[in-house]
Amino acid sequence: MLQGRQPPSITEVRCHPIKIRHVDAYLGTPAVEDRYFVRPPWKSLYSARFETLLVSVTCADGTTGWGEALAPVGPEIPAAVVERLLAPVLIGEDPTRVRPLWHRLTGLMRERGHLTGHQADALAAVDIALWDLCGRLTGLSVAQLLGGAFREVIPVYVSGLPRPSDAERVRLAQEWAAKGATKVKLHLGYGVDKDLSTVDAVLSTGLGVAVDAHWVYSPPEAVRLARGLAERGVLFLEAPLAPEDVEGHRDLCARAALPIAVGETLRHRYEFADWLGRRALHLAQPDVGRTGITELMAIGELAAAHHVPVAPHHSTGLGVALAAGLQVSAALPNLACFEYQPTTCEVASKILRNPLAGDATGFPLPAGPGLGVEVDRDVVTALAKES
């Protein structure tokens, strides 16, 4: 712990793009062998492997902080941003000046419009690593560095019932209920009537149900779906319309009788300020692997000022992103819940010396300095060589 002495300067920034094959892929194993594929009716690329970018930032005394970008496809792309644009600026800097460094890094490409996309993902990984490093140097957890934890256990909902039929989804939901789960989010978007039928089936288990529509619906369809979900007491409707359609979401929010959730595609406070100011979302879902810790806290404050709760998104991020999400969730006064991805969590601990505790009933706040996890560098190095 630093006690009146000058912190050691940053000497190295390294990228570790990794791709892990698991018995199941994210949201269920596809019936294709291609590395990247599309799951109709969803439009995004998915990978048959768990892909991510880990970033390590090391000081002159050997202390290392770890960060992670949400990079489910092509982690080499944000890695190039870190290596070419961000790392040279960090060498020789004081790692405890996290927020000044964040503002300096965000300014590098900002006037060229690069506060989003792969640039933002790269910034997020570096920012998380700096907070972890600062915590390790000071002996404080990230939650403590952020001003203290509002909670020691992070409430969660189970994300996804990756089964092909409603009967199988019901059986899996019953298994989760037996393990103590109280809420589940369905990944749907297969048509309004079919989605409502699936919701009816899963509601029969007694679990609270939310729906992720994966951006597939037109405004009239989304209104009809929202009406049907509200009649059934569904917890929230996530990503109903095209992710760029702020006005469409604003109109839907005004007409829907259940919360509309948005945020995984947004990466900084100015984007969220636009959506919040237009009352285009009821539940904010930033992902720390796309925003970083510094920006997620700013987003949380903006949301609180608009009386909007925050439910951080988490999909394919491994142990570092998961720990970062939990640390920030503990420090948010307006937290609703955190997204628990069962299959991702099985893979997440492969890069850690000790697995994170937590399950469908909640996650205890990781103890220890920084993010509260120990990354196994040898495993990360081996995985990076295999990728």
Please identify which of the residues 118, 214, 313, 314 carries the catalytic annotation.
313
Do the bridges between strand 50-59 and strand 283-284 make them parallel or antiparallel, or are there none, so unpaired? unpaired
Q: Cα separation of 307 and 367, whole Å?
A: 30
CA distances from 369 to 86, 125, 131, 135, 323 (A): 25, 18, 10, 5, 12
Quick one: which of 81, 16, 87 has its CA closest to 376?
A: 16
Query: Catalytic: 313?
Result: yes
Positions marked catalytic: 313
